Structure 1
Amino acid sequence: MTPLIHLFRRLLNLAALGTFLSFAVAAPFMPAAETRAADAGAAMPYGHGVLWRIERAGMAPSHLFGTIHITDARILDLPAPVRTAFEQAHSATFEILMTDEVRLKMARAMVLDDGRTLDAILGPDLFARVVEAGRRYGLQAAQLRRFKPWALATVFSIPQAEMARTAAGAQPLDQWLQSEARRRGTPLYALENAEEQIAIFDGMAEKDQIALLAAAVNDNEQIETVFETMTKHYLARDIAAIYAMMTGPGNTMSPELTALFLRRINETRNRTMVRRMSARLAEGGAFIAIGALHLPGEKGLLSLLARAGYRVSRVY
């Protein structure tokens, strides 16, 4: 199997590409800024906690679980409160359900189809840096030329060890939960479809895709350290600290690109997801698993749910 096919398999084993990259875009963060990042996020509404009870008069309680889209065994070892909520749920809802059809649509969307090549889009200097980063993933220039800028921004925001685990068949947390729900016979629902997930990046102006790729290339050598920091914050349930890694000191993306990215990845989608999860909440007993960065903040899911009249309380 060629490295390019391996790469597609690795990428398409990652559930919810959009939210995955919302974690991965913290790559420009420098470890020396960790303390400042944690301080900056400490006051964020709903910034601490990964499992929340959602209630309203006349409805049985449901749970909203903030995930992180990686395969680390520490993440897949569900804490007891999360496992209990999951196993007792009447339904399980995710950002997207990863089927073969969804994987095929995502694979097609990642590849240039207008006759251009990536080297022509990027110019020689940036493409040379892309080639250098690509070597770390076993990819050659001829293969890299086929990808859209946003697709390679995703690639270079994933540690090589994470890629290797997915290539070996390991599942990210969201996909693992989907598999477990299917095994248990729990009804499954999605909040988004493949076209909507793809549009998060495919709908970005090309200049913004290029800027996103440049940031990912710049910081690829530090991605292992960044992911370990994010994993530790997640295990400590400090989601605000992860959010601050994206927006606080040390973020090398421009403020304009960061703001655009957050609007496309989080804010616009949050409003849609709250509307679409309402049917499951009305049924009661729902377990809704969404990337943890969607939960906190004034424009996060928990604030939106509270303003919509739900009672929100932290379980874990």
Structure 2
Amino acid sequence: MKKLLLSITLLVQCLYSSAQAPVENSLLWEITSPGQAKPSYLFGTIHLICPTDFSLSDSLKATLARTQQVALEIDMDDPGMMAGMMKSMNMSDGNELKKLVTEREYAKLSQFYKDSVGVGIAMFEKAKPFILMGPLFNAVLSCQPQSYEMSLVELAAKQKSEVIGIETLEEQMAIFDTIPYKDQIKTIITMIDSLPQARKEFGNLVSLYKSQKINDLYNLMMASNYGMDGNEEVMLFARNKKWVPRIRKIATEKPTFFAVGAGHLGGDRGVIALLRKDGFKVRAIK
């Protein structure tokens, strides 16, 4: 159950001038705000990835060693995270999965999760439908996925650095109360019905991630049938905007290694563009 909730949590990661958008291909960035004595760093993660595609570069480890704390989207080192996840994962107003789908769709979901994922659908009966995406990725990836976030938590522990969150688990989970539950389950069913296409798309995403093409990765996410599907404002853009003043405050207190989903970096409304607009000097690190 802990591994299942962890995989779920990991998934759960105005107009601005396009001149601010990053043109460099990099996942690792030095960020310096006016008056800062020491720089902080920003790294784009992919929340779940096969071990064969996973890599932590020497450059990344060196920059992390120059910081005093690690800031993830949420505090993955919080001992109360799993309890908080259990508390906030259910739908509001007494909604249940059976009320959102037809009998035929429910039977399909039940059979698929039993045969291809290895879990019973009954345990998700009252959960926000997007929660189902976590275990579904076991079928998409065909491997036991690895997490950049948990690897960064381990590196932080070795150098005795504190791990903090840019936003709270409650804030992140509340997003999925603003997106219609029927839209969420529709995304799950679409992925199950087109699993080969989903695997191909995720393979393309991993390829772009490994080549550090953050704008191409961002564009792929925007065009995906399995992601935000019209909910970009609440899932991506509003969070990017909210994060920037928090990043400024955290970075002012001490040099920090920030790590967020790489999809948040690219585009003219991405974190890099917003940081530059806010006066930060942002430099790609190869």
The TM-score with structure 1 as length reference comes to 0.77
Aligned with 1:121 (options 100, 106, 121): 100
C-alpha contact 1:12 1:107 (8 A) present in aligned 2:
no
1:155-174 alignment runs, 5 A limit: 155-156=135-136, 158-160=137-139, 165=144, 171-174=146-149
| Partner AA of 2:4 in structure 1 | R
2:29·2:285 contact (CA, 8 Å) conserved in 1? yes
CA contact (8 A) 1:159 1:223 kept: no
Q: Which one-letter code corresponds to 1:62 in the other structure?
A: S
Q: What amino acid does structure 2 have at the position aligned with 1:152?
A: L
On the 8 A contact 1:271/1:304 being kept in 2, the answer is yes
Alpha-carbon shift at residue 266 of structure 1 (Å):
1.1
Uncovered stretches (5+) of structure 2, i.e. residues with no partner: 14-18
Q: After superposition, what is the alpha-carbon deviation per residue over 1:14-66, rounded to whole angstroms, capped at 9, x for unaligned?
A: 554322xxxxxxxxxxxxxxxxxxxxxxx993262101111234312211111
For 1:18-167, list aligned pairs within 5 A: 18-19=12-13, 45-46=21-22, 48-59=25-36, 60-74=38-52, 76-98=54-76, 99-111=78-90, 117-134=96-113, 135-156=115-136, 158-160=137-139, 165=144
Kept after mapping to 1: 8 A contact 2:8/2:133 = no
More deviation in 141-150 or 98-107? 141-150
Match of 1:278 among 224, 248, 255: 248
Cα RMSD of the aligned pairs, angstroms, is 2.8
Identity between Structure 1 and Structure 2 (%): 25
Does the CA-based 8 Å contact 2:187-2:225 persist in structure 1? no
Q: How does 1:219-298 map to 2 (within 5 A)?
A: 219-248=194-223, 251-252=224-225, 258-260=229-231, 262-283=232-253, 285-298=255-268
Given that 2:44 and 2:262 are in contact with CA atoms closer than 8 Å, whether structure 1 keeps it comes out as: yes
**Hey, what's the Cα distance between the residues in 1 that align with 2:275 and 2:164?**
19
How many residues in Structure 1 have an aligned counterpart in Structure 2? 277
Secondary structure, aligned partner of 1:214:
helix
Local SS of the residue matching 2:151: helix
The 1:315–1:130 alpha-carbon spacing in structure 2 relative to 1, beyond 3 Å, is same
Amino acid at match of 2:107: A
CA change 1:215–1:243 in 2 (3 A) is: farther
Name the aligned partner's letter for residue 155 of structure 1. P
CA distance in 1, matches of 2:159, 2:27: 23
SS at match of 2:22: coil
Retained in 2: the 8 A contact 1:64–1:287?
yes
* Aligned AA (2:73): E
- Provide, for residues 133-188 of structure 1, a one-character-per-residue CA deviation record: whole Å limited to 9, x for no partner: 212011335445454322224432x133758626xxxx510121012202211122
Structure 2 length-normalised TM: 0.84
Q: Secondary structure at the match of 2:80?
A: helix
Shift of 1:72: 3.0
The residue that corresponds to 1:30 in the other structure is: none
**Paired letter, 2:59:** P
Distance 2:150 2:225 in 1: 31
Q: What do the CA deviations read for 1:204-232 (whole angstroms, capped 9, x no partner)?
A: 22232233333333333444433332222
Aligned residue in 2 for 1:301: 271
The answer to whether the Cα contact below 8 Å between 1:274 and 1:305 also exists between their aligned partners in 2 is yes
